[in-house]
Chains A and B, each alone.
Chain A
Amino acid sequence: GAGVSQSPRYKVAKRGQDVALRCDPISGHVSLFWYQQALGQGPEFLTYFQNEAQLDKSGLPSDRFFAERPEGSVSTLKIQRTQQEDSAVYLCASSPKDWNHYEQYFGPGTRLTVT
């Protein structure tokens, strides 16, 4: 079946603009994660959903970052008043409900460049 998809793949924003990044997880996957990957670094956790509930948002760097998953499937990561330090690749991952399997399946990412 289809994997995790993300859109847009690339986004250029002027400093101060708001952006919205979309994630379509694998159908039926209960868990959804957002990560931020700076150039040359490993991904860093941002937030986690189980169905529509946002159970962990400890990794969101500031209150300019907001994520939602209102119907328990598609998720949107919104960044308000973008800053240059927000430039990174934003990765979405989903994971099945079966807790014998903790692996996550990643989308291709959205590369955000703030100018």
Chain B
Amino acid sequence: GDSVTQMEGPVTLSEEAFLTINCTYTATGYPSLFWYVQYPGEGLQLLLKATKADDKGSNKGFEATYRKETTSFHLEKGSVQVSDSAVYFCAPPQLDSSYKLIFGSGTRLLVRP
């Protein structure tokens, strides 16, 4: 079945450092791709989305581009803040009638002041 692979965490960065979290997936033809974020003690929040190939999603300084040719959707941010410390999930929708989301184990980001 479809699967997603994210880089292992935890990722520890200093404040204002550049962030990249890699995400690759196995299937092709996704209608959309998503990044979700889970802050400590909270539920999952949609961080950003891309709705077609070569589309770039962005929100709160985070960006990710739907790369069909490399089946990737890497998350980037130019300058992280302590408040960005959370677990990040790349989540494509499975290509069936439900479009249920496929989650990997997530990448924990810790930003130090």
Interface residues of A (CB under 8 A from B): 31, 33, 35, 40-45, 48, 55-56, 59, 91, 93, 95, 99-109
Contact = CB atoms under 8 A, between A and B. Distances in A.
B22 to A, nearest CB: 15
A87 B99 CA distance: 26
| B interface bracket (residues with beta carbon within 8 Å of A) | 20 to 34
A105 B94 CA distance: 16
Contacts, number: 61
Contacts of B70: none
Contacts of A95: 99
Contact of B105 (A31, A33, A42): A42
Contacts of A48: 98, 100
Contacts of A55: 97-98
B100 A33 contact: yes
Given A31-B98, A43-B89, A104-B101, 13 more contacts: A42-B89, A42-B106, A43-B44, A45-B101, A48-B98, A93-B44, A93-B101, A102-B31, A103-B46, A103-B49, A105-B46, A106-B36, A106-B43
